[in-house]
Amino acid sequence: MSTHVAFLRAINVGGRQVKMAQLVGLFESLGLDAVTTHIASGNVRYRTRSSPATLEPRIEALLREALGFEVETFIRTPTELVAVIRAAPFTQKEIAAAHAQMFCFLKEAPTKAVGTAIAALSCASDRFAVVGRELHWLRVTRESDPKIHRAVEKALGVTMTGRNLNTVRKMAEGG
């Protein structure tokens, strides 16, 4: 069995309230083992023999049926999460000076042209770079421009879900 982490989009935001005990039970109903959650925002760690490609649609279908709304699911292994953190395209000095380092998970890697377009949206408050299946987002200042966020989502053309460095690190470590 191997360990995987599922990042769920839009859990416990915008009126979509889900108790973590319910979420654990739903994941266990799929035959997943050692299911745990981290903070109430849709971070689930579990053990399985199934592949992420098999599980993502099964989890999404189960959550849609049980919760009554779409919950996009993005699965990574702890090893992949460590690699995502290490692949940050920003210098340690830039990261240390920033308000927050974020990672947005995508289903698949965007084209190089899309990555270039997103990087071009970087501004004084936010810096963006696509690396593989993740959008690396450095929040330079506390407040970000919502127009920039909408432009990034539009340029990507796909859904994503974001987590800060602390959450990604905890999920990679098993916390």
Cα 104 from chain centre: 5
The pTM (predicted TM-score) of the whole model is 0.94
Residues 6 or more apart whose CB falls under 8 angstroms from that of 130 comprise: 109, 110, 114, 115, 118, 119, 136
Cβ neighbours of 107 (radius 10 Å): 13
Task: Share the mean pLDDT of the chain.
Answer: 94
Mean pLDDT of 103-114: 95
Location of structure tokens 């919502």: 146
Helices and strands: H and E segment counts in the chain: 7, 8
Location of structure tokens 């266990």: 28
Q: Is the pLDDT of residue 174 over 90?
A: no
Q: Is the pLDDT of residue 142 over 80?
A: yes
Nearest to 118 by CA among 97, 138, 143, 94: 138
Q: Which domains does the chain have, with CATH numbers?
A: 2-76 (3.30.70.1280), 80-173 (3.30.70)
Q: Is the pLDDT of residue 59 over 90?
A: yes
Q: Could you give phi then psi for residue 171, rounded to 5 degrees?
A: -70, -35
Residues 6 or more apart whose CB falls under 8 angstroms from that of 27 comprise: 6, 35, 44, 46, 59
Q: pLDDT over 70 for what percent of the chain?
A: 99
Residue type, 108: E
Q: Could you give phi then psi for residue 63, rounded to 5 degrees?
A: -65, -40
